[in-house]
Structure 1
Amino acid sequence: MNIVLFNKDLRISDHQPLTEAARAGEVLPLYVFEPSLWKEAPLSARHFEFVVESLDELAKGIEDQGGKLFFAINEMKMVLDKLLDIYDSINLFLHNDIRLMDIVAEWARQNEQRVFSYGPELENVPGKLFNNRLNSYLKELLAEVPNKIDVPSKIPDFLFTDFKKLQNFKVKGNKIRFGQQGGEMKAAETLDSFLEGRFSNYIENHQKPLPSSLSSSRLSAYITWGNISVRTVFQKTDEKLQACELEEDKIQLEEFLSKLTARMKICSTENKDQQLPNDSNIKREWNEDWFQRWLQGRTGIPIIDAAMRSLDKTGWMNFSLRAMVTSFIANTLSLDERNPSSALAELYLDYEPAVHDFYVQQQVGMKRKMKIIDPVKVGRQLDPDGAFIRRYIPELSKLPDEYIHEPWLYPAFYQLGYEAPMVDVKKMNKHARLQYQALKSKGKDILKKEEGESEQLSFDF
């Protein structure tokens, strides 16, 4: 039996495992909800909702081709064991996602079954060879949607197609009302609107909180969950780039493509290299109250609070804000970055483990220099008129511009109903720099630049 294992590739277009499995004969398209993954990984209800929305559209696409999408709730190896009992012999088709491939490949070896994996072989490939292999993959013809998907007549009882059965699947966290919806159609519409004109201010606006929400591609969640393939994004963008008449437009799209390929490079790194170690030499004891105030947007620092509230509401922040809120909790407050990292991962709709961990490592000094950011100073640069702050902090909506980044200086501050600053940022940053310099003087390996590492990478799509 040919079984297509969907994971973070929730689409029907340019889906080579599905295309190849359909050519081979009868196909059982399958998505497995693994309880341990949704419980232990930093995934939340917003991710689950996005996945279910994506699967709903995927199921309809497969049905249009004569097939059906099936679901199972169990650990992957147990599902595969049950399938093997029923079909005696199975061929597994999937994209070469690192986590899933490790599980499936080990099971297949133990049970002498065949695995057919697809996608670029980029894991830990060095420099020039990586670029050549990636470019070749990105320029390959897109996989055709199967003309017909034949479903086997014999379907195991533990598989189901009714989405209502997912309602009792418990996932931590809250859904979001104002986030992006999952699905291949939404992904295609988002790419089209970007290439039709939103890209024109891509570079200029990428650091600005409100403008970046429009001029960024906003494809990161769709790429993370596979509603659209990177190959599709690359080829459509390159086609648009070649058709551009203005040099400035070409520069915008070239920058976008460079970030797209940089993202793929980080995602090709083994998970074991992305773990966040605890550096007790620079972190203080845990302060739960500080952590909760940061998480809830109640620090008393407007740009930090606006960023965290917007993230909770929408599931997205641009790169500059991600850097700022991470630096504030891990560097200014000197708290262990692991809990904040997990909390942010649960909130980011586009959470991709390798990319997310790389972000955090950049900010806390595991990759070159620690990023100690003054949120008041940088807040003025990013949001000079306070439009972003006013949108997400209604307590400050009528505050004059001159006080919007330092409301505690406003004569009637205590009538605003807004938190007083939880710490003196300048003093805390000074203390953090002294800690960092002391650690650096000891020659700790974590502060040394890794060979071939860039100064700072931004994956702000």
Structure 2
Amino acid sequence: MNIILFDRDLRIFDHQPMAEAAKMGEILPLYIIEPSQWEAPAYSARHFQFVIESLEDLSDQIQGKGGRLFYSINEVEIVLEKLLEAYDSMNVFIHRSSGLLEKLTGWTEENQQRLFIYGAEFDQVSAKAFNKQFQSYRDEPCAEAPAKIFVPKETPSILFTDMKKIHQFRVKGKKIRFGQQGGESRAIETLDSFLEERYANYVENQQKPLPSSFSSSRLSAYIAWGNISVRTIFQRTTEKLQSCENDDEKLQLEAFLSKITARVRTTCNQPEHKQDTEVSKIKNEWNEEWFQRWLEGRTGVPVIDAAMRSLVKTGWMNYSLREMVTSFIANTLMLDGQKPSDALAQLYLDYDPALHDFYVQQITGLRMKKVKIINPIKVGKQIDPDGTFIRRYVTELEKVPVEYVHEPWLYPAFYQLGYPPPIIDVIKANKLAGQRFKSLTKKDESSGKNGGDETGQLSFDI
């Protein structure tokens, strides 16, 4: 039997495993819900909601070609054992982006079954080699969806096709009402709307909290869950770029493609990170009250609170805000970064493990000890000068004059607003944090360690 195991590749177009498997005849398209994965700290109900929406769209497309999408709620090894009992032998087709790759490699080798892995491989290559390989990948024709899909009439009882069972599976956290919906169809619609008009102010609006929610491509969640391939995005954008006559329009799209390339390089080229015990030594003792106030948007620092409240509501914010809230909890408040990292991962609808870990480590100094200690009041004034973003999400401040919206504690009637004072003096806290991190840098310099990082200055807005 030819088994196609979906994971973070929830689409039918430019899906090489499906295209190749279908050439061999009957196939079994399968998505396995592993309880162990969904119990992990970084995953939440909003991710599962997005996956369900993606599966519903994928199922419709497979049915439109005469097939069915099968599901199982179990650990992957158990499902494969049952399939092997039913079919005697199997060819397993997966995409290289699959989080199941390591398990499948071990299981297929041990059980002498064939595993076919598709997708570009860029791991641990030089910048020159990456550029050459990525160019080759993005220029190859996209894999067309099969014209017809044939699936087995009988399958083992461990599989099912009724989505109701999936809806009954419980994952920690709450769903969101105002986030993007998953699915390949919606991914294509989002790309279309970006290339038709939204890209016009892509560069100008990148750092602006509200304008960026329109001008950014908003494809990050669709890329993270594989609703659309990077190759599809690259080729469609290149076609649009070639038809542009305006130099400014070309600049916008070239910047976008540059970010797409940076994203691929970063997610594919990161060595395994080990916890830096020296950084841990300079952190404050854990303060659960501070953490909860940060998570709920009640720190008393308006732009931080607006960012966290918007993230809870929508599942997205631009990189400037991501950088700021991460720096605030880990570098200004000097709390251990792991629990905040997991909390942010649960909230980001576009959570991608490799990308998320990279930028958290980069911001907090775990990767290169060059931390980004950000003054959120100063930066808030730069990216949201009139306080529009703050007023939208911190409604306690919606009637505060512009000159006070970033520092409401200076407002004469502050204590009538019902908004908390800052949990910490940001200037003093940042100065102390700088001194602590500087002591680590001196240690590294004396020991001859190099803290540089080739991709340290990348931004991940797309």
TM-score in terms of structure 1 length? 0.97
Using a 3 Å threshold, how does the CA distance of structure 1 residues 350 and 253 change in structure 2: closer, same or farther?
same
- SS of the aligned residue for 2:5 comes to strand
Equivalent residue for 2:4? 4
Give the whole-Å Cα distance in 1 for the aligned partners of 2:328 and 2:295.
11
Q: Is the 8 A contact 2:6 2:98 kept in 1?
A: no
Shift of 1:168: 2.6
> Could you give the per-residue CA deviations for residues 128-150 of structure 1, whole angstroms, max 9, x where no partner exists?
11111111011110111101110
Structure-2 change in CA distance of 1:301 and 1:266 (3 Å): same
SS in 2 for 1:102: helix
1:450–1:19 Cα change, 3 Å? same
CA distance in structure 2 between the aligned counterparts of 1:438 and 1:64, rounded to whole angstroms: 62
Is contact 1:365-1:446 (8 Å) kept?
no
The aligned residue for residue 421 of structure 1 is 422
Counterpart mapping for 1:437-452 below 5 A: 437-443=438-444, 448-450=450-452
Is the alpha carbon distance of 1:274 and 1:219 closer, same or farther for their aligned partners in structure 2, counting shifts above 3 Å? farther
Q: One-letter code of the match for 1:35? A: P
2:85 alignment partner AA: D
Q: Tell whether the 8 Å contact from 1:334 to 1:432 is kept in structure 2 after alignment.
A: yes
Quote the Cα distance in structure 1 between the aligned partners of 2:45 and 2:355: 20
Deviation, 1:99, is 3.1
Q: Which residue of 2 aligns with 1:333?
A: 333
Shift of 1:98: 5.7
Q: CA deviation at 1:417?
A: 0.6
Distance 1:319 1:446 in 2: 32
Q: Percent identity?
A: 61
CA apart distance, 1:41: 4.3
More moved, 233-242 vs 94-103: 94-103
Letter in 2 for 1:413: F
Q: Secondary structure at the match of 2:444?
A: coil
Structure 1 residue matching 2:281: 3-state secondary structure: coil
What's 1:392 paired with?
393
Secondary structure (helix, strand or coil) at the match of 2:56 reads: helix
The CA distance in 2 between the partners of 1:418 and 1:284, in whole Å, is 26
- SS of 1:93's equivalent in the other structure is strand
**Structure 2 counterpart of 1:358:** 358
Do 2:9 and 2:98's aligned partners in 1 also have CA atoms closer than 8 Å?
no
1:277 positional shift: 4.4
Q: Which amino acid aligns with 1:48?
A: F
SS across alignment from 1:443? helix
Please name the residue that 1:156 is paired with. Answer: 156
Given the superposition, is the C-alpha separation of residues 448 and 137 from structure 1 closer, same or farther in structure 2, using an over 3 Å criterion?
same
Alpha-carbon distance change, 46 to 332 in structure 1, aligned in 2, over 3 angstroms: same
Question: Residue 242 of structure 1 aligns to which amino acid in structure 2?
Answer: Q
Report deviation, 1:325.
0.2
Q: Matches of 2:455 and 2:448 in 1, distance apart?
A: 15
Matches within 5 A, 1:232-251: 232-251=232-251
SS of match in other structure, 2:79: helix
Secondary structure in 2 matching 1:17:
helix
Determine the C-alpha separation between the residues in 1 that align with 2:149 and 2:354. 34
Corresponding residue of 2:288: 288
Q: What amino acid sits opposite 1:245 in the alignment?
A: E
Aligned equivalent of 2:75:
75
1:3 CA drift (Å): 0.5
Would you say how many aligned residue pairs link Structure 1 and Structure 2?
459
Give secondary structure in 2 for the equivalent of 1:115.
strand
Deviation at 1:201, TM superposition (A): 0.7
CA contact (8 A) 2:299 2:422 kept: yes
Q: Distance in 1 between matches of 2:274 and 2:130?
A: 23
1:263-278 correspondence to structure 2 within 5 Å: 263-269=263-269, 273-274=272-273, 276-278=275-277
Q: Distance in 2 between matches of 1:257 and 1:442?
A: 39
**Deviations 1:297-350 (Å, cap 9, x if unpaired)?**
000000000000000000001000000000000000000011100000000000
Consecutive unaligned residues in structure 1, runs of 5 or more: none
Describe the superposition over 1:355-381 as per-residue Cα deviations: whole angstroms up to 9, x where unpaired: 111111111123441100000000000
Give the TM-score taking structure 2 as reference length: 0.97
1:226 aligned residue: 226
1:81-96 alignment runs, 5 A limit: 81-96=81-96
For the aligned residue pairs, the C-alpha RMSD in angstroms reads 1.4
Task: Tell me if structure 2 keeps the 8 A contact 1:54–1:227.
Answer: yes
Tell me, in whole angstroms, the C-alpha distance in 2 between the residues paired with 1:188 and 1:346: 25
Give the distance between the partners of 1:164 and 1:277, measured in 2 at CA. Answer: 45
Runs of 4+ deviating beyond 4 Å: 274-278, 444-447
Distance 1:172 1:446, change over 3 A: farther
Structure 2, unaligned runs of 5 or more = none
Offset at 1:442?
Answer: 1.2
